[in-house]
Amino acid sequence: MASLPRTSRAAVLSAPRQRVEIREIEILPPEAGAIVAKVEAATVCGTDVHIWEGDLQPEWPVGMGHEMVGRVAALGEGVVRDAADQPLQPGDRIVWAYPWCGKCYYCTIARQPSLCPNARMNGWRSAEKYPFLCGGFAEYCYILPQCRPVKVPDEVDSKVASSATCALRTVVHGFERLHAYGGIGVEPSVVILGTGPVGLYSLAMAIVSGAGQTISIGAPQRRIDLAHKWGATHTINLDEVTDSRERVEMVKKWTEGRGADLVIDAAGPAQAFSDGIEMIRRGGRMLVIGQATKKTVPFNPRMINHEMLEIIGVVSAHVTHFYKAMQFLKNHGERFNFSDMITNEYPLARVTEALQSMAALQEIKPAIIPTMS
């Protein structure tokens, strides 16, 4: 414990569209069950951009960042193993799940902890309230006793592991939800709406899960190129094919006129949902992961029964999905070069530029490296 510094630099946003400031924040020694981790790498999620743009309302002033990987700096009393029963020691690289309460209806009876109303999400909380250091864009993070840590396999790069702590673990959770509804099937045709990190991870997971045909739809060209490189059988660049009816026709043409067995909505705009519904075959399914808008779109509910559509949603993830995301990266790192997604590195002082660059779609996944100056 003596090795812990007294304070940590941390990126704090006081109001939307402000410049992210770097504050010196006290590092509390870990209470029983807690961990203090030194952040090795953090990554910017689309949600961080939505917070910065004012679309989402965190506690202000917010300690930013919810995708991160740290090295154990200090262990609180009683912390000896990670969630997968592996021994945990100072210096180990870890990711960690959110602190669900473990006591409410959603945590216990429904067993859907990602719906826990008492969760205190990293990257959403005030930097002025206990335990102060909950955001990943910081030198150190305080990991509450309710969070479960998962060790990062040696084979997995820290920036890639970081990108998995929101994007990939949610995709893993989504695919698990699909399995609850009969799996993805044998050689299905899969449309993936969105070529950001959630869309690219969905593509990789669809391929590994046995998709026969994968159609990635997104923009700009750099992301489309990556979807191709990772194995998408077809792609549509939204900047080139701007008419949604034309996109639907292209998907129909590639799927023998029927439409896809499964559409994964890993985009942000509400329009993507409307497009996706038109792309599903009769009796097909849609997994909604990426919707981030408050905008509504017209939808005829009769399609659900007459066309026998299944629409499945997912939010966030449980500790099991963090673990499986790490295993996915370890097991398929040779098939997919996941580092392709990390397009830049920024020091803490330039978090604002990273957010601006992400908002302008100039990045796929920028990394924040707290030790960089």
- CA–CA dist 315, 123 (Å, integer): 16
Query: Please, what is the minimum distance in Å from the beta carbon of residue 38 to Zn ion?
Result: 21
CB of 107 to Zn ion, least distance (A): 3
CA distances (Å), origin 2, targets 30, 56, 73, 75, 296: 12, 39, 10, 12, 54
Amino acid at 38: K
What residues have CB less than 8 Å from 88, skipping those under 6 apart? Answer: 72, 75, 79, 80, 81, 82, 94, 149, 151
CB of 135 to Zn ion, least distance (A): 12
Beta bridge partners of 140: 38
Report the length, in residues, of the chain.
373
In the bound complex, what is the minimum distance in angstroms from residue 324's beta carbon to Zn ion? 17
Which is it for the CA torsion 323, 119, 294, 262, positive or negative? positive
Closer residue to Zn ion, CB minimum distance, 104 or 270: 104
Q: Compare residues 50 and 222 and give the one whose CB is closer to Zn ion.
A: 50
Nearer to Zn ion, 48 or 92 (CB): 48
Least separation in angstroms between residue 108's CB and Zn ion is: 7
* Residue among 86 and 118 whose Cβ is closer to Zn ion: 118
244-283 b/e (C-beta count within 10 Å ≥ 16 → b): eeebbebbbebbeeebbbbbbbbbbbbebbebbbbbbbee
Q: 28 vs 101, which CB is nearer to Zn ion?
A: 101
By beta-carbon proximity to Zn ion, the closer residue of 7 and 320 is 320
Q: Shortest gap between Cβ of 175 and Zn ion (angstroms)?
A: 17
Of 40, 37, 8, 38, nearest to 23 by C-alpha is 8
Instruction: Return phi, psi of residue 189, to 5°.
Output: -90, 130
Q: For residues 281 and 365, which CB has a smaller minimum distance to Zn ion in the complex? A: 365
Find the shortest distance in angstroms from Cβ 304 to Zn ion: 29
The nearer residue to Zn ion, 55 or 307, going by C-beta atoms, is 55
Given the rule CB under 5 A, which residues bind Zn ion? Answer: 45, 47, 100-101, 104, 107, 116, 118, 166
Using an 8 Å Cβ cutoff, are 251 and 279 in contact?
Answer: yes
User: How far is residue 70's CA from residue 73's CA, in Å, rounded to a whole number?
Assistant: 9
- CB of 104 vs Zn ion, minimal distance in Å: 3
DSSP designation for 29: P
